[in-house]
Amino acid sequence: MEGERIVALLHGRDRAGLVARVSGWIYARGGNILHADQHRDRHEGIFFQRIEWLPAGDVSEEMRLFEDFAHRDIEMETKLLRSSRKPSIVVMVSKFEHCFSDLVLRCRSGEINCSIPCVISNHGDLREMSEMFGLPFYYIPVEKGAKAAAEAEQLRLIRESGAELVVMARYMQILSENFLESCPAPVINIHHSFLPAFAGAKPYHQAYERGVKLIGATAHYATKDLDEGPIILQMVERVSHRDNVEDLMRKGRELERQALANAVRLHIEGRILTYKNKTVIFD
C-alpha cells in the first residue's frame, strides 16, 4: 500500500526558478513527486502551482517544514492538505432536491471524499429526504426582518460542524455580506444560468424569453456581489423552440447537478486556486 500524500497549493509573485526550487526542495528531502502542475498569469505576474508528493519523513513534520520553506524562501502563499483527511461540508437547501440528493449520494459512495454533518434549510420540504439519508436537518426559516438572526443560527451550526466548505445546493436566499465575511468556510453556489447571462432571479424564464439556443449552469464561489463570484465550472445544453420553461428546468437540473457536484469535488481535492475573481483549476 502507498503512503500518505501531501498536496500543496501555492501562489505568489512570479520569478525565475520557482519550479526548480519547489521540486528541488521536495527531492532533496527524499519526497517523490506524483503530480505537479503550474500556471503563470504572465500579465499579472503571478505564479500558481499544485504539487502532490509522497514524503519520505513524517507527514505532519514535512507539511510544517514545507510551509516554512514556501513562506520564507520563495514567499508563496500556501494551502496544504493530506490525503488521509476527510473534510466535512454543510449543505444548504430550500425546496429543490436534485442537487441535494445528487451531492449526498456522491459523498456516500466516496466519489466526493467528504462527510455531511448537517443540512440547513429555510423550508421544511427536504426534511424527509434528509432523514432518509440519515442526515441531521435544521429548519431555520428566514422571516422578513429576521434574516440576521437566522444567519447567526446558520453560522453557529456551520462553526460547530467544523465544515471546510458550505454548499448552496439551490438554497434560494441571498446570503448577506455579513454572513459571507463571518463564515469560517468558503461557500460554493450553483446558479442556474450560463453567467454572466441571466444573473438574478428566474434565469430559465429569462432564457426562455430571450429565445437562446443553449442553457447553462454555473458553479461559483459566493461573494458579496450576487452571481459575481469566481466561476469554477460551467455547463451547457442545447434547447430549441420546442422547449418550454419546464423543459428548460428539466434540462437545467442535469447541468446544475453535475456542475455543482464537480465543483465541490474539485474544491475538496484541493484543485482550485482563486485570484482576481477568477479560478485556476488544476484538474
Reduce the DSSP state of residue 217 to 3 states and report it. Answer: strand
Chain centre to alpha carbon of residue 64: 25
8 Å CB contact between 242 and 259 = no
Q: How far is the CB of 101 from its own copies (least distance, A)?
A: 5
Nearest to 167 by CA among 245, 96, 222, 235: 222
User: Which positions touch its own copies (CB under 8 A)?
Assistant: 16-17, 19-21, 23-24, 26-27, 32-34, 36-43, 97-98, 101-102, 105, 109, 111, 132-133, 194-198, 210-214, 216, 230-236, 240-242, 244, 250, 253-254, 258, 276-281
* CA-closest candidate to residue 241, choices 279, 207, 216: 207
Residue closer to its own copies by CB (options 155, 172) is 172
* DSSP string over 8-24: EEEEEE--TTHHHHHHH
Q: How many CA atoms lie within 13 A of 252 on its CB side?
A: 27
Q: Annotated active-site positions, please?
A: 227
Q: Cα–Cα distance between 221 and 232 in angstroms, integer? A: 7
- Among the listed residues 266, 261, 97, the one whose alpha carbon sits nearest the alpha carbon of residue 171: 97
Shortest reach from residue 132's CB to its own copies, in Å? 6
Phi-psi region of 45 (alpha: psi -120 to 50; beta: other; left: phi over 0): left
* Residue 27 CB neighbour total at 10 angstroms: 13
> Cβ of residue 210: shortest distance to its own copies, in angstroms?
6
Q: How far is the CB of 261 from its own copies (least distance, A)?
A: 9
Smallest distance, Å, CB 152 to its own copies? 32
Shortest distance in whole angstroms from residue 274 CB to its own copies: 9
Measured from the CB atom, is 151 or 227 closer to its own copies? 227
Unique residue bearing C-alpha cell 453557529: 156
Looking only at the bridges linking them, the beta strands covering 89-93 and 77-82 are unpaired
d(CA 231, CA 219): 6
Complex with its own copies: residue 158 or 272, whichever CB lies closer? 272
